[in-house]
Structure formats: structure tokens, C-alpha cells
Amino acid sequence: MTDRMNTIFGWLLFAGIVALGLSIVSGMYFHADDPERPETMAYSVEVAAEGGDGPVIPIANFLAEGDAAAGAKVFAKCQACHTINQGGPNGIGPNLYGVMGAAIGGHAPGFAYSSALQEKGGSWTYDEMNAWLENPKAYAPGTKMSFAGLGNPEDRANLMLYLVENGGGPPLPEPVEIVEEGAVEGETDGAGEGPGVTEGEPVGDIEAAGAMGDEQPVPSQGSAAEN
């Protein structure tokens, strides 16, 4: 019995030594104690830069393609604080009938505008209203308006068109043609530019002579005999 137990403990000890040895060898081979970044990652994830590299589209372009009916749906977010019907009462916010083109911070009589908005001065042009609707607190720091803003320029354009339908406003600005980066408007290849001879471009005598000077195919003896 004692010999059997000794044999079992011996094999267990041997297995432990083998396992320890394999662990040391594998650690040395795979640099477990000195991890290194692989030369080529298995995959990479590209994160687009905030804002992107594309051209900035002015609000005039969104206004040109906007829809006042869609703006009425956007205005549903404003109804908790504003009315828009002519002669409607002020609420938490001022009545907005005829606000487009009116004085900033002074449109609705009797409403207590914040000093931050009153000090802006000027009138509600489309650019000013666009900036206000996008982020009121950034446009007029200290404003009492708690609305976070409309991040989608299409929503802002549609809402402004709806405001125009309710009280009018300045003429819509003209949309701006967007030219992609690297492209120059009106730039075309000149006559004769580009690879090879431009179709329809006459070949001069010098070019014709140069072409004739190129190596011409020599007929084989067999084809000469056939002729």
C-alpha cells in the first residue's frame, strides 16, 4: 500500500514539474512577461471626425427645399410654452405670431424677455433664428429659455417656414451652390490636353511627321509572298 501511494505521489510530482516547465517555455516563446503590440492589428475601426470634412450647407439651401407643413409638426415641441395664433396670449414664452423679421427680444408686447436676449439687438433674420433654434443657451447665454434646441437643420428650416406662414417675414435668402472640395467651378480641360489626341482636334504637320517616324510593322516574308 505504501509503495502504491509513493508511486501515485511520484507521478503527481512529475506531472506538476512538466506543467511548470511547459508554462515557462510557453511564456518565453510568446513573450508573456513582455507584451508587445502586434505589427498588424486584426482590424481597425475608423472614427469619423465630429462635423466631418464635407462642405457646410447654409440654412438658405434647407429653406429652399423646406416644407411649412412639416414645420407645423416641429412646432408641436414648442406649444407647451408658445402660442402662434394672431393675438394669442403669451405663455411661459412669448406669442410667436409675426416673429420673423421682428426685433430680437422685443416682439411680444408685455412679455418679460431676459436681458441676455434683449441685449442681442437686431432682428430675427433667418440666420439669427437658425442660430437661436439650434442652441438657445449658446446663442444668448443667460436666456430663460430652457429648450435644448433643434440639432437637425431641416427641422429648423421647416419651423421657420411655418413661422413665416403665421405672420410673414423677410424674403427667403437665395440658396448657395455647393462646390465639392478640390473641384473648381468652370474648370475644363483645354484643347489638346489629356492623354492622346483629343477627338476632333486637327493633327499638325509636325505631329504627323513624328507619327510617321515611329517604327512601323514589317510584313513577314509569308505575307509578302501572298501579295
d(CA 63, CA 23): 69
Give 184: exposed, middle or buried? Use CB within 10 Å, 0-12, 13-18, 19+: exposed
Residue whose C-alpha cell reads 513582455 in the numeric block: 34
Most distant CA pair in the chain, distance: 113
Residue 72: what pLDDT? 97
Residue 53: what pLDDT? 59
**88: alpha, beta or left? (left if phi > 0; alpha if psi -120 to 50):** beta
Question: Please, are residues 85 and 71 in contact by the beta-carbon 8 Å criterion?
Answer: no
d(CA 77, CA 167): 19
Residue 2: what pLDDT? 63
Q: Which three cell numbers stand for residue 66?
A: 423646406
DSSP 165-204: HTT--SPPPPP-----TT--TT--PPTT-SSSPPTTPPPP
Question: Please, are residues 71 and 159 in contact by the beta-carbon 8 Å criterion?
Answer: yes
Residue 55: what pLDDT? 79
pTM: 0.58
Residue 17: what pLDDT? 76
Question: Please, are residues 111 and 201 in contact by the beta-carbon 8 Å criterion?
Answer: no
Residue 223: what pLDDT? 40
Over the range 32-49, which residues count as b (16 or more CB within 10 Å of their CB) and which as e? eeeeeeeeeeeeeeeeee
d(CA 129, CA 123): 9
Over the stretch 123-156, which tens digit does the pLDDT of each residue have?
999 999 999 999 999 999 999 998 999 999 999 9
Residue 120: what pLDDT? 93
Q: List the chain residues with pLDDT less than 70.
A: 1-6, 9-14, 16, 18-54, 180-227
Residue whose C-alpha cell reads 423679421 in the numeric block: 101
d(CA 20, CA 15): 9
Residue 6: what pLDDT? 64
What are the chain's domains? 59-165 (1.10.760.10)
